[in-house]
Amino acid sequence: MNLIIDVGNTLVKLAVFQDDVLFEKITVQHDGFINAVRKVLNKYPIITKGIISSVGKLNNQDVQIVASEIELLVLNSETKQPYKNLYKTPKTLGVDRIALVSASVEQFPDMNVLIIDAGTCITYDFINTQNEYFGGAISPGIRLRYHSLHNLTANLPLLESKLPKSLIGNTTESSIHSGVVFGVLKEIEGVINEYKEKYSDLTVILTGGDANFLSKQLKNGIFANSNFLLEGLNFILEYNTQ
């Protein structure tokens, strides 16, 4: 069994895999990370190896604690990857994006794939039929947009994410919801259409914390999978330890 650890900007996700099967997924705050790891290892004593992917803050002491319990792979730009990386600054490529592209290689081989990860940021990553990864784009996610409107203006309130009832907001709150949510939706639709003009056989994956919120509003033909990154990490772990 494998222990998969995804350290994000706000939360930590732990997942237990047996081969390609996801047995359990747990989401915790950063300060509860080690306790959660210990509980998982107690529950699944046959876990022998794991992987950590961190885009958030994770201190070396926590990594060493996990590494003392199981064989641990810490994902970075030097980790062997199952595709040809044509990104011009590979050392700055986020480990989350490495995992997402790896998942596409495993699940959609020899295809043109656009992976959209809607989390704190919205990332777009493209890999072609020749297994070549080119890069993509990074833009602010839904929560970042709400926070930016509140933090960088004098009078706009901080709101929770909400699907607007109408394109035309008739209050300040409904105007913010319209601007943020429809802005994100139209951005995603526009990016997809641009890629489809160049790659008519494009496969589109939507993942991340806001995937379920957004997928219902986007057109059909998009694969929504909130566990895509975890599955990619599990694949990288197997790819590097076989």
Task: Tell whether residue 191 is among the known ligand binding residues.
Answer: no
Task: Tell whether residue 38 is among the known ligand binding residues.
Answer: no
The dihedral through the CA atoms of 149, 154, 160, 162 has a sign that is negative
Task: Tell whether residue 179 is among the known ligand binding residues.
Answer: no
Task: Tell whether residue 124 is among the known ligand binding residues.
Answer: no
**Half-sphere exposure (Cβ direction) of 183: Cα atoms closer than 13 Å:** 17
Catalytic residue among 96, 125, 201, 210: 96
96 is a catalytic site residue:
yes
Residue 8 φ then ψ, to 5° = -95, -175
Task: Tell whether residue 92 is among the known ligand binding residues.
Answer: no
Q: Which 3 state secondary structure label does DSSP give 32?
A: helix
CA of 100: how far to CAs of 96, 97, 204, 231, 235, in Å?
6, 5, 12, 8, 10
Task: Tell whether residue 113 is among the known ligand binding residues.
Answer: no
Task: Tell whether residue 74 is among the known ligand binding residues.
Answer: no
- Residues annotated as catalytic are 96
Give the annotated binding-site residues for ATP.
Answer: 6-13, 120
Give the annotated binding-site residues for K(+).
Answer: 117
Give the annotated binding-site residues.
Answer: 6-13, 87, 94-97, 117, 120, 172
Give the annotated binding-site residues for substrate.
Answer: 87, 94-97, 172
